[in-house]
Amino acid sequence: MTENRTGTVRRNAPEGKGKVNRAGKGGNAASNGEAERLFALLLRFLKSLPPAGAVLCATPGGADAATLELATPSERLRVDARVLLQAARRGLIRREGPRICPLPEASAFVARHSAPEPDFARPHRDLVETTISIGGETERVSRNQSESPLSALERLKGRAGEAYFPREAMAAGERLHADFTRGQLQPQVTMRFEPRLGTSVKGARGGVADLSDSAVAARLRVNRALAALGPELSGVALDICCFMKGLETVERERQWPPRSAKLMLKTALMALHRHYSPPVKREMRQWGEEGFRPEM
């Protein structure tokens, strides 16, 4: 027992307890560094592991050896046993006898952690390179095909292998969606911070008076397009092209038979294409004096 300056008595801590181990912080730093090294080795191993997997070779140290050897069709991989254990605990690999195969989650794991900063949305994107024309100039851009149901519908094939939805039908659907967005018809579920283009009176209800001329024109185009489709086809075009609902969702909500929504959507988009690009009417013209009659 010892007495401090305030006169209170305290007990000495038993040997080995109550003392701060300075090497503990250093040990934590060392363990963190080892964890980072194993994580880097895990990423390198998953990148090198082919989709068909690799065969576990027999090592002189037996199954408990620190380093294991895997045989692939092109090379041999030497991997730490702790890396394999970590990959198995994360659900990234599976073992089929002597063969170790990657699971589908392995590619998403590598894509998410290979970037300088973790991009958790990258595995859920389907990016493709495409060309667009802006102001008469063509530019290469990246397009996310999983952004809207229309992008996914472009990949549907018919019985003969052709695209189920023609290109002009997809263009008509994208045009309807663009006018729907410009007209600000999408319901707002969060606060809007952009400045208003119109002036509003305090206490008054927002309406057409608060919209810009471009938004009003876009709403008129949407109304004309839906009127051209009629009540039979306008609903499915509005649900899929504007409200971004899937085909299965539309079939469930409207109680349609399975695989019938894509047929109704194709009919609606082709009618919408004829509305946007009506066929040219040929007029018969003739020149002659008054009372002229052609000879039969």
Q: Which residue has the higher pLDDT, 142 or 21?
A: 142
pLDDT tens digits along 78-131? 888 888 888 899 999 988 888 888 998 888 888 888 766 666 666 667 777 777
User: Which residue in this structure is represented by tokens 């080795």?
Assistant: 41
Q: What is the pLDDT of residues 18-50, one digit of tens each?
A: 444 444 444 566 677 788 888 888 888 888 888
* Higher pLDDT, residue 231 or 28: 231
Say what the pLDDT of residue 21 is. Answer: 43
pTM over 0.85? The answer is: no
219 has pLDDT over 60: yes
263 pLDDT exceeds 80? yes
Task: Please tell me the predicted confidence (pLDDT) of residue 296.
Answer: 66
Distance CA 80, CA 55 (A): 15
pLDDT of residue 118: 61
Contact 265, 236 (CB under 8 A): yes
User: Which residue, 151, 141, 122, 219, is CA-closest to 180?
Assistant: 219
Percent of the chain predicted with pLDDT > 70: 73
| Percent of the chain whose predicted confidence (pLDDT) is above 90 | 23
More reliable by pLDDT, 16 or 193: 193
Give Cβ neighbours of residue 268 (< 8 Å, ≥ 6 apart).
229, 233, 234, 236, 237
Phi-psi region at 193: left, alpha or beta (left = phi > 0; alpha = psi -120 to 50) = alpha
Closest CA to 98 of 64, 57, 60, 63: 57
3-state SS of 225-272 is HHHHHHHHHHHHHHHHHHCCCCHHHHHHHHCCCCCCHHHHHHHHHHHH
| Residue 4 confidence (pLDDT) | 46
